[in-house]
Chain A
Amino acid sequence: MANPTLSWNLVHDVHELLAYQFMVNALQAGTIVAVMAGVVGWYMVLRRQSFAGHTIAVMSFPGAAGAALAGVPGAVGYYLTCGIAALAIGREGGAGRRGRSRESAAIGVVQVAGLALGFLFLSLYSGVLEQLETLLFGTFLGIDRNQVLTLLLVAIVVLVALVLVGRPLLLASLDPEVALARGVPVRALDFGFLLILGLAVAATSQITGALLVFALLVAPPAAAQALTPRPGPSLVLSVVLALLVMWLALGISYFSIYPLGFFVTSLGFGVFLLAKLTGLARARRVRRGRGQDGAGSQEPQPVVAA
């Protein structure tokens, strides 16, 4: 790699970025991952399944360690363990307060069982230890064409599946009782969504690492949902924000000596914080506006473009 130099000329900077094949691969992979995470994460946040998402994300660690031990490609392990974890979590689903507390314990147990196994694999196969940080925190260097193509394939499968079940899934997520009454197969959708989540996470964690997939899955959708309550626009916004975070993080980390994961999580956190503050400010304005209307004030409210 030539010395990366950052100048004020943005066009030149982007040119420099795109001059390297590895950077082009990273950008393509990052774009695919961001679109997928933006959509899948949006449903995950809506369904309050962040803990399940985090747990499935972490499962790629035992997957990779186990695959190394068994001598099969890492991706096989990723998809296998993420899928198993999704099924194990889906089995424990339940409604009501009692079900919720039971579910959270079950997810926690699934997570540590996987991690403990991963640690066992790691210590049995001493060679992986150097890669521990990469497994957990990812790398964007050394992504090859095949990986980009595989990612693209997985993304298409995931997005097509979500398009097919999107509307019933939305109803089942927002109001399970009504959905059941209308004949929507809520239980099957619960399972199906967890499997989709597992697939998306397994693909994503190969780039961002087991611990940081989650940042991309949760921050942009949470920000989007804080900004607008309407499903369509907020889903689009979620994808846009995820893309923004990914591209900026990749750009910055090219010119920096520090790891991609730090920039992805920090930008994600920043986006979430800004969205929350905007949402709070707007809620306060609405409340104040109502209060003055109630008092019979005829003063026109200042209209601030959001």
Chain B
Amino acid sequence: MLGHEFIRNAYLAGTLIALACGIVGWFTVLRGQVFAGDALSHVAFVGAIAAAVAGVDERVGLFALTLGLAAAMAGLGSRAQADDVTIGVVFAWVLGIGVLLIAVLGTSSSGGSGLIVANTLFGSIFGLSSGQSLVAAAVGLGVVLATLSIARPLLFASIDPELAALHGVPVRILGLALLLLIGAVTAEGTQAIGALLVLGLIAAPAGAALRLTSKPYLGMAISAAIALVAMWGGIALSYGIPSLPPSTAIIGLAVGAYALASMASTIAL
């Protein structure tokens, strides 16, 4: 299986994307910001379409839009957490712009828009070139290192914002930083498993980890490990069963892990 270049690319990019999703996701779930992650990942889709219309590299659009919206969300909300109504209205509007861009794309280029739409929404991890997967891996590594470097103060700020602010922890800046990291992860993950499914790698492993343990660093490690196993297993499964799309296999495993953890914690209670 590893003899194919596209599989090696998928594993290289997938490994680091999964680690980044698992760790950033742990904070996202801890702070109850999954909806923000959801909005950012759907907006990534619009970024990719916009890039296709403008004729620039897909990644430019992905990162520009997710990071931009992340900053906007941090600016709109108190304590750098926008409330769910604002998130909902803003991202519904951005999706509407996406619809417009699809129509523009459909009239300007003859066909092909359907493929771009499907690829952006559901990803194409087997379609990554070696250059793309190297960049994806580098960004993933950067996100992991950045998150770990702010992990301590971010943990403090997430669990008790008032006390953290009293101790001089920059709560607002940390909130912004986390949203930017979520934005980067979603932009990155969109290329691999799609704008609609990247949320799965953010929410499911972290949700499972938080069900299993309340210890922070152990939880982060479990979350990253589940994301990694889902990614590796999903790629292998989909290679073995050609009619199973890789994104579905990866998300299926992550959701399965969440369901198991959820059951285990219910029984333990």
Contacts and interface: CB of A to CB of B under 8 A. Distances in A.
- Most chain A Cβ neighbours within 10 Å, of B33, B35, B247: B35
Contact of A268 (B85, B89, B207, B258): B89
Contacts of A211: 42, 95, 99
Interface in B84-127: 84-85, 87-90, 92-93, 95-97, 99-100, 102-104, 107, 114, 117-118, 121-122
A259 interface: yes
A106 B200 CA distance: 10
Contacts of A106: 207, 262
A262 interface: yes
Nearest to A266: B96
Interface string A240-269: 000000000000000001110111111011
Contact of B92 (A111, A115, A215): A215
A268 B91 CA distance: 11
B243 A124 contact: yes
Interface stretch (B62-70, B142-150, B172-180, B248-256): B248-256
Contacts of B235: none
Interface in A62-118: 97, 100-102, 104-109, 111-113, 115-117
Contacts of A54: 35, 38, 88
Chain B interface size range:
35 or more
Contact of B33 (A104, A219, A263): A104
Nearest to B84: A50
Nearest to A225: B85
Given A215-B96, A257-B103, A264-B96, A116 B118 contact: no
B162 to A, nearest CB: 13
Contact of A116 (B210, B251, B262): B251
Contacts of B97: 262, 265-266
Contacts of A133: 102, 114, 117
Contact of B84 (A48, A123, A137): A48
A101 B35 contact: no
A108 B99 contact: no
B203 A108 contact: yes
A119 B96 contact: no
Given A100-B32, A219-B89, A115 B243 contact: no
Contacts of B33: 104
Given A45-B85, A218-B92, A123 B243 contact: yes
B229 interface: no
Given A115-B196, A115-B197, A116-B252, A265 B34 contact: no
Contacts of B157: none
A129 B206 CA distance: 32
Interface in B196-229: 196-197, 199-200, 202-204, 206-207, 210-211
Contact of B35 (A51, A132, A269): A51
A43 interface: no
Contacts of B47: none
Contact of A262 (B96, B196, B254, B255): B96
Q: Which 4 A-B pairs have the closest CB atoms?
A: A265-B96, A108-B203, A105-B207, A112-B200
Interface of A: 45, 48, 50-51, 53-54, 58, 97, 100-102, 104-109, 111-113, 115-117, 119-120, 123-124, 129-130, 132-133, 136-137, 211-212, 214-215, 218-219, 222, 257-259, 261-266, 268-269, 272
Interface of B: 29-35, 37-38, 42, 83-85, 87-90, 92-93, 95-97, 99-100, 102-104, 107, 114, 117-118, 121-122, 194, 196-197, 199-200, 202-204, 206-207, 210-211, 243-245, 247-248, 251-252, 254-255, 258, 262
Given A108-B34, A212-B99, 18 more contacts: A102-B211, A105-B207, A113-B200, A115-B200, A116-B252, A120-B244, A120-B245, A137-B99, A212-B95, A214-B92, A218-B85, A218-B89, A259-B100, A262-B99, A263-B96, A265-B93, A265-B95, A269-B96
10 contacts: A51-B34, A51-B35, A51-B38, A51-B84, A54-B35, A102-B210, A105-B206, A112-B200, A222-B88, A268-B93
